[in-house]
């Protein structure tokens, strides 16, 4: 039981990297959550204030419209009502007919109740006429007719309640404005349905909630992106630290390092830039020669001669590429003669003055050291040719008590100005010398550059070994 509890606790324990990740992410998540709540509340408050202002403006516009309608009705009946006596039945009939004929919009009409609650005018809902509606309430328990009469008695005013729309029969919110015809004890009014205002306000609130949800979504996406960035950064740092700390990974890196693909790419470029172009030229020359032979043109012989010369040039290019890949002299005679051939070819090709000096070692370099130093020399001379603008180059190879050193010097303009110390060529040199547990020193000024590659004594073979019969 105790052992199971210990295993359970071990399973829940966090690694150092996980603790760092939680330490970085938990405050971020809490801060984002707090910001989200504050932003949502402030957005709702601001939106609610704006919606209330919008609703007030729309309702006020409706009320002003109702007043205008009542003024029109008063104007229409003013002459008849003003000249009639309180018991003038004919004038009352004329007024009710005038008001009943005054319809507007889809649901607009004028209504009249006497102060007893009897309906006198209801043109769009005629079933109300002739009946007493005192005590009528809407579905929410709001008094309808009694409040209309009360408002009219007090000089006029507004009232709001739910009422059936004449056009559809659906119940909707209605705002009314009524005045009192005091001589006849009538309440005259009209109303406007405000379901469009309610729908507009509801749509505004729904839009606000949608925007808040979108804001939450954006904040969540940003938070996720930040967490991913933190996670990936921690992962990269963790991998980097492990790479630096783990010697097995270094050994794996050394085994993975392989110049085969690089050499393939270089050979492909060489074949494309030199051999391929030469062969294409030869093909065109031979095709021209064939045409001229067919036509009996005496210049065909000259074209054949150019083709043969081109083939000779292609053969020389093949030999040069083959020598660059793996010079036979390196295996047959050793590092010294191979470097001598390399620098002589470099001087002949570039016109740069070269010198080479070597000292015969008591012990000899092993195969790995010879190949590495030869490739470093190739990289260095390539950099000199492409970037240094040097006029002289010297190569020196010598042995000492700690191993062997190759020094390459030029009088060019320096690495920092034209290439930078993190260039690909220098990285390749460093990786090659690292494989041998050696050292690479690069000294560069405006007066020139010196590269020293040293291999340790462990890469020197004793005199009696098979490879020791060859010179360094």
Could you tell me if residue 438 is inside a domain? Answer: yes
* Residue scoring higher pLDDT (129 or 251): 129
Please state the rounded mean pLDDT for residues 240-264. Answer: 59
Question: What pLDDT, on the 0 to 100 scale, is given for residue 182?
Answer: 92
- Asked if the structure places residue 223 within a domain, the reply is no
Please identify, among 304, 325, 346, the residue that sits at the C-terminal boundary of a domain: 325
Specify whether 444 is located in the same domain as 342.
yes
With a cut of 60, say whether residue 421 has pLDDT above it: no
Based on the domain organization, do 265 and 300 belong to the same domain? yes
Judgement on whether residues 410 and 279 belong to the same structural domain of the protein: no
Same domain for 424 and 339: yes
Which of 298, 325, 352 is at the close of a domain?
A: 325
On whether both 290 and 348 belong to a single domain, the answer is no
Residue 153: pLDDT over 50 = yes
Say which range, 81-85, 126-130, 278-282, has the weakest mean pLDDT: 278-282
> Which whole number is the average pLDDT over 455-462?
79
Q: Examine the domain organization and report whether 295 and 334 are in the same domain.
A: no
* pLDDT of 253: 53
- Average pLDDT (201-214) is 83
> Among residues 253, 255, 224, which one has the least CA distance to residue 239?
253
Distances (CA, A) of 284 to 272, 300, 307, 312: 17, 13, 9, 16
pLDDT at 234 over 90: no
Q: Is residue 281 part of a domain?
A: yes
CATH number at residue 94: 3.30.450.20
Higher pLDDT, 372 or 113: 113
- Res 320: pLDDT: 66
- Find the range with the poorest average confidence among 65-74, 93-102, 221-230, 262-271: 262-271
Question: Residue 453: is its pLDDT beyond 70?
Answer: yes
* 401 & 440 share domain: yes
Is residue 161 within 8 Å of 80, Cβ to Cβ? Answer: no
Residue 430 counted as domain residue: yes
Are 273 and 393 contained in the same domain? no
Q: Which of 273, 294, 325 is the last residue of a domain?
A: 325
| Domain co-membership, 264 together with 192 | no
When comparing pLDDT for 412 and 278, which is higher?
A: 412
Predicted confidence band at 222 (pLDDT cuts at 50, 70, 90)?
confident
Query: What value does the mean pLDDT take over residues 164-182?
Result: 91
Q: Give the pLDDT confidence score for residue 468 in this predicted structure.
A: 44
Asked if residue 148 and residue 84 are part of one domain, the reply reads: yes
The answer to whether position 39 is within a domain reads: no
Domain assignment present for residue 242? The answer is: no
Q: Give the pLDDT confidence of 5-41 residue by residue, as tens digits.
A: 555 455 556 666 667 767 767 777 787 778 877 777 7
Q: Which residue has the higher pLDDT, 190 or 43?
A: 190
Residue 246 in any domain: the answer is no
Both 343 and 461 in a single domain? yes
Q: What percent of the chain has pLDDT over 90?
A: 21
Question: Which domain range does residue 278 map to?
Answer: 258-325
How many domains does the chain fold into?
3
Whether the pLDDT of residue 257 is over 60: the answer is: no
CATH number at residue 399: 3.30.565.10
**What is the model's pLDDT at position 358?**
85
Report the distance separating Cα 246 and Cα 231, nearest Å: 22
Report pLDDT for 416. Answer: 63
Span of 14-23, 128-137, 291-300 with lowest mean pLDDT: 14-23
Is residue 471 located within the same domain as residue 355?
yes
Least confident of 222-236, 237-251, 395-409: 237-251
Residue 472 has pLDDT above 90, yes or no: no
Q: List the structure tokens of 65.
A: 């419209």
pLDDT in tens, 308-363: 777 777 777 776 666 666 666 676 677 888 888 888 888 888 888 999 888 765 54
| Confidence band, pLDDT 50/70/90 cuts, at residue 219 | confident
pLDDT number for residue 2: 46
């Amino acid at each position: 039981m105790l052992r199971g509890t210990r295993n359970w606790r071990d399973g829940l324990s966090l690694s150092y990297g996980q603790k760092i990740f939680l330490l970085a992410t938990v405050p971020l998540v809490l801060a984002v959550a707090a910001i989200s709540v504050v932003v949502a509340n402030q957005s709702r408050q601001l939106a609610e204030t704006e919606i209330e202002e919008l609703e007030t403006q729309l309702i006020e516009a409706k009320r002003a419209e109702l007043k205008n309608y009542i003024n029109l009705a008063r104007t229409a009946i003013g002459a008849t009502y003003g000249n009639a006596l309180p018991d003038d039945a004919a004038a009352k009939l004329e007024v009710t007919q005038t008001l009943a004929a005054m319809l507007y919009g889809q649901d607009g009409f004028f209504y009249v109740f006497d102060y007893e609650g009897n309906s006198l005018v209801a043109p769009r809902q005629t079933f109300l006429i002739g009946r007493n509606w005192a005590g009528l309430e809407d579905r929410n328990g709001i008094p309808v007719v009694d409040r209309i009469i009360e408002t009219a008695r007090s000089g006029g005013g507004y009232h709001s309640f739910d009422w059936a729309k004449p056009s559809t029969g659906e119940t909707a919110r209605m705002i009314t404005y009524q005045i009192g015809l005091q001589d006849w004890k009538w309440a005259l009014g009209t109303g406007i349905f405000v379901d469009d205002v309610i729908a507009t306000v509801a749509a505004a609130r729904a839009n606000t909630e949608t925007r808040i949800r979108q804001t939450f979504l954006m904040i969540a996406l940003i938070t996720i992106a930040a967490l991913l960035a933190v996670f990936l950064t921690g992962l990269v740092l963790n991998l980097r630290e492990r790479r630096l700390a783990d010697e097995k990974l270094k050994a794996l890196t050394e085994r993975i390092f392989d110049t085969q693909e690089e050499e393939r790419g270089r050979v492909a470029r060489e074949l494309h830039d030199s051999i391929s172009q030469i062969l294409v030229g030869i093909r065109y020359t031979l095709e021209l020669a064939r045409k001229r032979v067919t036509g009996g043109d005496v210049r065909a012989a000259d074209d054949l001669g150019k083709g043969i010369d081109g083939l000779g040039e292609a053969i020389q290019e093949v030999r040069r590429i083959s020598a660059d890949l793996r010079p036979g002299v390196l295996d047959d005679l050793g590092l010294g003669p191979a470097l001598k051939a390399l620098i002589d070819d470099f001087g002949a090709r570039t016109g740069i003055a070269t010198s080479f000096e070597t000292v015969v070692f008591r012990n000899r370099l092993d195969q790995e050291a010879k190949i590495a130093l030869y490739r470093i020399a190739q990289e260095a001379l390539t950099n000199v040719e492409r970037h240094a603008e040097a006029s002289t180059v010297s190569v020196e190879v010598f042995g000492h008590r700690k191993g062997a050193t190759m020094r390459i010097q030029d009088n060019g303009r320096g690495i920092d100005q034209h290439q930078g110390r993190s260039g690909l060529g220098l990285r390749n040199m460093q990786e090659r010398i690292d494989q041998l547990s050696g050292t690479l020193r690069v000294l560069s000024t405006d007066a020139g550059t010196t590269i020293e590659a040293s291999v340790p004594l462990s890469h020197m073979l004793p005199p009696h070994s098979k490879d020791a019969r060859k010179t360094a």
